[in-house]
Structure 1
Amino acid sequence: MKSIFFIIMVFGLIAGIGCRTAKKAQRTVNDSAISSSPAVKLKPVDSAEILKNQLMDVANVPLNFTTFYGRAKASFSSPKMAGSATVYIKMLRDSIIWISITGPLNIEGARVLVTPDSVKIINKLENTVQLSSIKNLQKVTKLPLGFSEFQHIILGKAVLNGSNNFQVKKDSITVTKADEMLRYMYSFTRNGFLLGQSNFQTINNSDVTGANIFYNDYHTVDSISFSAGRDIAVTGKTPSSLTLNFKDYNFNQPQSFVFTISKNYRVKYD
């Protein structure tokens, strides 16, 4: 069950690349097209303020979608396990996140259903189903993430507010903020304001020190910019890594969310 949880939580929704953390921690978001942006031709002070306001406007516009479908190849690694799988993700906006994990020979190992208040996991390899509240996501990840944050990470979306600190660099805009449990850092390209990196650093948590998500290989689908490549890294006592490459994805197409629990499965509660 732990390995299934690992894939579910780290598949690109929230995680990182333990084996590449040291190298990737120094990576920045580059934008080769910034010279074409009218904003960079303004005076430095005005330019920075304009970029900040434009980024706030773009980041806080809700994505125009009802459903999402994605199929990704996943490679994962941790001190106790390593391997690959195919991950299928479906979403009904603000309501359902459905995940299926398939291993070799196209055998489905697990199916997951996440709603704003619950998490259900069918482990087909062990003939069990685990039922828990959304708070179990926080228990597993050691991070205070709920349904909305989970959805945003899948979509590569960062929501900003006036309490953020902005730093305009040559090739990127870095935004930082903090609350009682987490320090956040987002890095965007200056041209197009594409999210390149999300970084979460826990406060007063000795188990997990941080999580990095790097978004790359952007494509536009139904006027939505979507990152088809994800590199994810969790640092701490048990560093973990995950690489996700989406091979197929779409928005606003009819989706079904089949989640049938066999009467022969043993039910576990958490």
Structure 2
Amino acid sequence: MRVFIFTGCMALLLFACRSTKNIQKAIEKKDTVAVVIPVDTPTHEDTLKLIANVFNGYKPIEYKTFAAKIKVDYFNSKGKQPDFVANIRMRKDSIIWISISNDIGIEGFRVLINKDSIRVMDKLANTYQVKPLTSLQDIAQIPFSFTDLQELLVGNPVFFNRDSVVAYNRTEKGYTLLSSGDVFKNLLSFSNSYNFEKSKLDDKDVMRNRTADLSYFEYETKSGFVFSTYRELFLSQQNKMDIQLKFKDYRFNEELSFPFTVPKKFKRIQ
């Protein structure tokens, strides 16, 4: 059984799953995004200033703990798949705990992820599985890290390095910055108020042809954090998947527990 293919940023890692009975692979929908360079060629100093202005205005979420209840809808090549609810708890740089249940609250899976491993309890089949975190990287074929997973869930950009920005644009609607990293080209879009609105990933390896669109909507301010409560993830490689995440509740910096006791009757599988 495979668990989440938080596929590296879904390709940005993905929080792609199977359902409450399975958890599958994927990565997103491909469309072409052009980066428009202003007619008046900016100087290097102008470029650095614009990039600095964006990052001075944009405030990534800084937290110690994070908890959320998310309704997940997803579609694949066969159409709409059963939706489910994911309850997530995280301690930054330490642990990710996930409980997956159906819409009436029956828990199917419980997952515990740290920097080295991923543990999965299948409460429907009474089985228990332990895999190295690198197994998710092997499945997704993307070199994402534990930190990437946490950043994706909390709503911060992933696979982006401000030092590798190669193009930018300023429009009436906001700003775009294009970063070229080792694995992906990443086009980030920000609103005029510097809310992070979209990440468009394209694989630099044209033979893989992996792409991902991550879009962030319905921002609200709660406890001092500006947070996107609705997200759409379009993933594609050989297969395609459309994932919609609706945050029903979320909390920052509260005391959290991460219960994960495996019953004796559960059989450990490979």
TM-score bucket of the superposed structures, by smaller chain: 0.7 to 0.9
Looking at structure 1, the residues matched to 48 and 6 of structure 2 have their Cα atoms a distance apart, in angstroms, of 40
* Counterpart for residue 199 of structure 1: 200
Gaps of 5+ in 1: 29-43
Specify whether residues 228 and 27 from structure 1 end up closer, same or farther in structure 2 by C-alpha distance, changes over 3 A only: farther
Question: Does the 8 Å CA contact 2:13/2:144 hold for their aligned counterparts?
Answer: no
Task: Determine which of 60, 65, 68 is the counterpart of 1:67.
Answer: 65
Q: Which amino acid aligns with 1:68?
A: F
Specify whether residues 130 and 204 from structure 1 end up closer, same or farther in structure 2 by C-alpha distance, changes over 3 A only: farther
Specify whether residues 109 and 76 from structure 1 end up closer, same or farther in structure 2 by C-alpha distance, changes over 3 A only: same
3-state SS of the aligned residue for 1:162? helix
Report % sequence identity: 26
Q: Which amino acid aligns with 1:108?
A: E
* Counterpart for residue 173 of structure 1: 175
1:205 positional shift? 7.3
Greater RCO structure (CA 8 Å; 6+ sep)? 1
* Counterpart for residue 190 of structure 2: 188
CA-to-aligned-CA distance 1:54-82 (integer Å, 9 cap, x gap) = 223455x6643211111111111223571
Q: How many residues align?
A: 246
Question: Does the 8 Å CA contact 1:14/1:213 hold for their aligned counterparts?
Answer: no
1:92 positional shift? 0.5
Question: Does the 8 Å CA contact 1:5/1:140 hold for their aligned counterparts?
Answer: no
CA-to-aligned-CA distance 1:67-124 (integer Å, 9 cap, x gap) = 1111111111223571101111111011111111111431101111111111111111
Question: Does the 8 Å CA contact 1:143/1:202 hold for their aligned counterparts?
Answer: no
Specify whether residues 260 and 15 from structure 1 end up closer, same or farther in structure 2 by C-alpha distance, changes over 3 A only: closer
CA RMSD of aligned residues (A): 3.0
Question: Does the 8 Å CA contact 2:161/2:179 hold for their aligned counterparts?
Answer: no
* Counterpart for residue 123 of structure 2: 124
Looking at structure 2, the residues matched to 200 and 253 of structure 1 have their Cα atoms a distance apart, in angstroms, of 33
Question: Does the 8 Å CA contact 1:213/1:230 hold for their aligned counterparts?
Answer: yes
CA-to-aligned-CA distance 1:209-260 (integer Å, 9 cap, x gap) = 2122111111112222111001011112111111010011110111111111
Question: Does the 8 Å CA contact 1:174/1:185 hold for their aligned counterparts?
Answer: yes
* Counterpart for residue 248 of structure 2: 247
User: Which structure 2 residues correspond to residues 64-103 of structure 1 after superposition, within 5 A?
Assistant: 64-79=62-77, 82-103=81-102
Specify whether residues 142 and 7 from structure 1 end up closer, same or farther in structure 2 by C-alpha distance, changes over 3 A only: closer
Select between 237-246 and 175-184 the one with higher mean Cα deviation.
175-184
Q: TM-score, normalised by structure 1?
A: 0.79
3-state SS of the aligned residue for 1:137? helix
User: Which structure 2 residues correspond to residues 1-270 of structure 1 after superposition, within 5 A?
Assistant: 1-2=1-2, 4-5=3-4, 14=14, 21=29, 25=31, 49-58=48-57, 63-79=61-77, 82-158=81-157, 160-170=161-171, 171-191=173-193, 193-204=194-205, 209-269=210-270
Specify whether residues 8 and 198 from structure 1 end up closer, same or farther in structure 2 by C-alpha distance, changes over 3 A only: closer
Specify whether residues 104 and 220 from structure 1 end up closer, same or farther in structure 2 by C-alpha distance, changes over 3 A only: closer
3-state SS of the aligned residue for 2:4? helix
Q: Which amino acid aligns with 2:228?
A: S
